[in-house]
């Protein structure tokens, strides 16, 4: 089941995201960043536990970014990530966005969700403020993907 994150979810959100950050697969996130952006996060959970997290971040007047999409390792391949992307796209459309993009190492996953590869330079310049914090900047090795909704 997908729901909007609550402030007391922040420690679990951080733990799930940072499990990938320690492997260099995502950017590390602080608890403070989660608190500041709690309204952007959704949670996938069942009666057992939170199994996935995802954020939808506005970047420009018509564009939003799917970020911090992470599924607990043992629950991968159960369509949790896919359902969170579908939910985020629906939410983006309802909010009035026309495009949604992601920067990812999981190009095939996003292509299976309907995204197409695009050039980083085609994305709103506002994203570069986040890129400046990345230890890999300016040598980004992620793939930019985008979808019109």
Look at residue 139 and tell me whether its pLDDT is greater than 70.
no
What gap in Å lies between CA 114 and CA 131, rounded to an integer?
24
Look at residue 126 and tell me whether its pLDDT is greater than 60.
no
Hunting for tokens 């390792």 — which residue is that? 73
Q: pTM surpassing 0.85? A: yes
Q: What is the number of structural domains in the chain? A: 1
- List the domain range (segments joined by +) for residue 30: 2-148
Q: What are 26's two structure tokens?
A: 């995502």
Higher pLDDT, 45 or 134: 45
Query: Between the CA atoms of 117, 123, 128 and 134, what dihedral angle is there, to the nearest 10 degrees?
Result: -10
What gap in Å lies between CA 124 and CA 141, rounded to an integer?
18
* 57: CATH: 3.40.630.30
pLDDT at 24: 84
pLDDT at 128: 59
Number of Cβ within a 10 Å radius of residue 33: 18
Residue range 3-58, pLDDT digits in tens = 999 999 999 999 999 999 999 888 889 999 999 999 999 999 998 899 999 999 99
Q: What are 98's two structure tokens?
A: 């026309």
pLDDT at 94: 97
Q: How many residues comprise the chain?
A: 149
Could you tell me which of 4, 21, 95, 93 has the C-alpha nearest to residue 55?
A: 4
What gap in Å lies between CA 85 and CA 81, rounded to an integer?
6
Residue range 71-112, pLDDT digits in tens = 999 999 999 999 999 999 999 999 999 999 999 999 999 999
């Amino acid at each position: 089941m997908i729901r909007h994150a609550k402030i007391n979810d922040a420690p679990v959100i951080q733990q799930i995201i940072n499990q990938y950050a320690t492997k260099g697969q995502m950017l590390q996130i602080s608890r403070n960043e989660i608190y500041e952006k709690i309204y952007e996060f959704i949670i996938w959970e069942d009666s057992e536990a939170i199994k996935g997290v995802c954020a939808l971040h506005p970047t420009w007047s018509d564009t939003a970014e799917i970020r911090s999409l992470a599924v607990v390792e043992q629950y991968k391949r159960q369509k949790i990530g896919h359902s969170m992307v579908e939910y985020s796209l629906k939410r983006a459309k309802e909010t009035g966005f026309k495009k949604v993009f992601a920067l990812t190492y999981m190009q095939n996953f996003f292509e299976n969700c309907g995204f197409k590869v695009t050039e980083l330079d085609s994305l709103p310049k506002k994203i570069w403020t986040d890129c400046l914090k990345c230890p890999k900047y300016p040598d980004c090795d992620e793939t930019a993907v985008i979808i019109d909704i």
